[in-house]
């Protein structure tokens, strides 16, 4: 991977790409709905998707943050919030899977951008090498001129 792309993409990916968290929120809400025999209609599912996306974007990079954001999502859809206590027992394990999905998504995004940018990067490198060669030639020419001027003075 090119360091220029990695330095640009990874900070963005770690802040914006929270696929694992969004998936966790949706799965947890549907699980709690099924556990309580609550049928989710289309409007609730759309609300669930939007609220999960919003909650995952604002999720802090701290362990067990999923329980707090799950309460937010459940209350938005109208599901019982008291059931979150069951999820807290396995939050430590689910958080690792969330992180796995998030990091994998960051790596896939980085690889895609790198693949799409290879030609542009090669052109940039070639132009940089040409400028460096021109600068080196100018430096050499100026040093030769200064040596010639010094020899005339003597």
* Predicted confidence (pLDDT) per residue in 36-92, tens digit: 999 999 999 999 999 888 877 766 666 667 777 888 889 989 999 888 888 888 888
58 to 15, 38, 90, 124: CA distances (angstroms): 8, 27, 22, 36
Cα torsion angle, 136, 140, 141, 143, sign: positive
pTM over 0.85: no
Q: Supply the pLDDT for residue 34.
A: 93
* 68 closest CA partner among 53, 49, 87: 87
């Amino acid at each position: 991977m090119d360091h220029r792309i990695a330095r640009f993409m990874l900070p963005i990916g770690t802040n914006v790409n929270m696929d694992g968290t969004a998936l966790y929120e949706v799965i947890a809400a549907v699980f709690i709905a099924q556990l309580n025999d609550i049928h989710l209609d289309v409007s609730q599912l759309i609300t669930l998707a939007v609220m999960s996306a919003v909650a995952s974007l604002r999720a802090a990079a701290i362990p067990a943050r999923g329980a707090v954001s799950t309460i937010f999502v459940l209350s938005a859809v109208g599901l019982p919030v008291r059931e979150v206590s069951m999820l807290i027992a396995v939050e430590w394990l689910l958080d690792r899977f969330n992180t796995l999905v998030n990091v994998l998504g960051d790596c896939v995004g980085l690889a895609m951008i790198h693949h799409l940018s290879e030609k542009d990067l090669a052109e940039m490198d070639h132009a940089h090498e040409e400028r460096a060669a021109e600068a080196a030639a100018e430096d050499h020419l100026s040093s030769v001129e200064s040596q010639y001027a010094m020899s005339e003075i003597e």
